[in-house]
A = this chain, B = another copy of it.
Amino acid sequence: MTLKKAGVLGATGSVGQRFILLLQNNPGFEIHALGASPRSAGKAYKDAVTWKQTAIIPESASDIIVQECKPEGKFLECDVVFSGLDSDYAGKIEKAFVEAGLAVISNAKNYRREPEVPLVVPTVNPEHLSVVENKVKEARAAGQKRPGFLVCISNCSTAGLVSPLKPLVEAFGPIDAVTATTLQAISGAGYSPGVSGIDILDNIVPYISGEEDKLEWETRKIMGNIAEDGKTLAPLPFANMKVSAQCNRVAVSDGHTACVSFRFANRPAPSLEQVKEALRNYVCDASKLGCSSAPKQTIHVLEKSNRPQPRLDRDRDAGYGVSVGRVREDPLLDFKMVVLSHNTIIGAAGAGILIAEILKAKDVI
């Protein structure tokens, strides 16, 4: 198999480090270019980075000379560029990379709400990638070079929430009301400075800046449709899917938990057993395409009353499988459940890798 050349923007940051770790063992990609701040540029990666992962620095990355985050040098040879840039920098840099004809998959929030940019959880709405697939195929049909494009990874807590909602909507029609209270891991806040130890030890912080709005809005885009033009995405109207989120930071290293309740638009609602059955039977497209990172089981429906738990369940399917437990009837809406997803895998860098695998399988990159 031909290895695709991968670049990483923001390579020294915590998301960038995750991209590099995941790429190193991926059978379809090789690390080709690493970009960071001017302060790091010119150094070997191992000397530029403060490595904070539990696995050691991949040899395939450690001696690469870090570049600045400009669309030049080795980046121009990349088949795909993963961006772990902070939102302060992502806006300009990602735009420049796309304009230079590069395929960018970004974890930053800057362009998530742009109509022509797919916002993708790879196990949930890979069909939204057709927006860029169409663009690429049109250009190729016209004998042109592959154009640059951008795909956005969703917010980490959004990825968990939509994972069980999608199969349910596929099986039983629209869900018109959702409440989600999240208990989010500190790795989601990054590292510099991230969450302070004194703020999280024996404590909860019942607020994450911008998070509730992201969860409420992104869910509607991901659960939404491709517009008739085939080129843009159409989020569900608020009235069609009301989402109410309350987000908390808790003393967990990895793994976001969400306590969710929801209501189907169609009456009668399905039975509890039908709901669990639909979750269990769901097979994501990435699995059907044979993507190497796709989970064997997209949704794990756990029957023990005290599961899922972050420490015990976050690593199912290497963090690409989402766990759902305590599915039961809800006195207000139809059902409630607990959803656990690995925030740095299916909720961030891992999602980017799996999106790239799908794009590769579909010959877009």
Question: A residues engaging B (CB < 8 A)?
Answer: 52-54, 56, 177, 179, 181, 183, 186-187, 189, 191-207, 209, 216, 238, 242-244, 246, 248, 250-253, 257, 259, 261, 305-312, 315-316, 325-326, 330-333, 336, 338
A186–B198 alpha-carbon span in the complex (Å): 7
Residues of B within 8 A of A52 (CB): 198, 312
Looking at A56, A207, A310, A311, the one whose CB has the most chain B CB atoms below 10 A away is: A311
Quick one: which of B187, B246, B261, B338 contacts A198, CB cutoff 8 A?
Answer: B187
Q: Which of B200, B209, B338 contacts A246 (CB 8 A)?
A: B338
Expressed in whole angstroms, the Cα–Cα distance for A356 and B157 within the complex equals 45
- Write out the residue numbers on chain B whose beta carbons fall within 8 Å of the beta carbon of A216: 331
* Distance from A175 Cβ to chain B, minimum over Cβ atoms (Å): 12
Q: How far is the CA of A341 from the CA of B160 in the complex (A)?
A: 29
Let me know if B252 and A205 touch, CB within 8 A.
Answer: no
Nearest-CB residue, chain B, relative to A250:
B250
Question: Once the chains are docked, how many angstroms separate the CA of A207 from the CA of B178?
Answer: 20
Closest-by-CB residue of B relative to A339 is B206
Asked if B250 contacts A204 (CB within 8 A), the reply is yes
**Which of B201, B206, B244 meets A331, CB within 8 Å?**
B244
Q: Quote the shortest CB–CB distance from A160 to chain B (angstroms).
A: 13
- Copies of this chain present in the complex amount to 4
Partner of A203 from the list B179, B238, B311, B326 (CB cut-off 8 Å) is B311
Contact A332 B197 (CB under 8 A): no
Say whether B259 contacts A181, CB under 8 Å: yes
| Bound Cα distance A324, B330 (Å) | 25
Residues of B with C-beta under 8 A to A179: 179, 261, 332
A217 to B309, CA, bound (A): 26
Residue of B nearest to A257 (CB): B204
**Can you sample 13 A-B contacts with CB below 8 Å?**
A52-B312, A183-B248, A183-B250, A192-B193, A196-B197, A197-B251, A200-B201, A204-B310, A205-B309, A206-B308, A246-B261, A248-B257, A248-B259
Beyond the given A242-B331, A253-B311, please list 4 additional residue pairs across the A-B interface where CB-CB is below 8 A: A187-B198, A191-B198, A207-B307, A244-B332
Cα separation A308 to B177 with both chains bound (whole Å) = 27
Minimum CB–CB distance from A266 to chain B (whole Å) comes to 18
The minimal Cβ–Cβ distance linking A193 to chain B, given in whole angstroms, is 4
Residues of B within 8 A of A196 (CB): 191, 193-197
> Which B-chain residue is minimally distant from A308 (CB atoms)?
B206
Q: Are A206 and B257 in contact (CB under 8 A)?
A: yes
* Bound-complex Cα distance A56 to B307 (A): 13
Q: Is the CB of B244 within 8 A of A259?
A: no
Please, which residue of chain B has its CB at the minimum distance from the CB of A180? B181
Determine whether the beta carbon of B201 is less than 8 Å from that of A202: yes
CB distance from A109 to the nearest CB of B (A): 19
- In angstroms, Cα B332 to Cα A246, docked, is 12
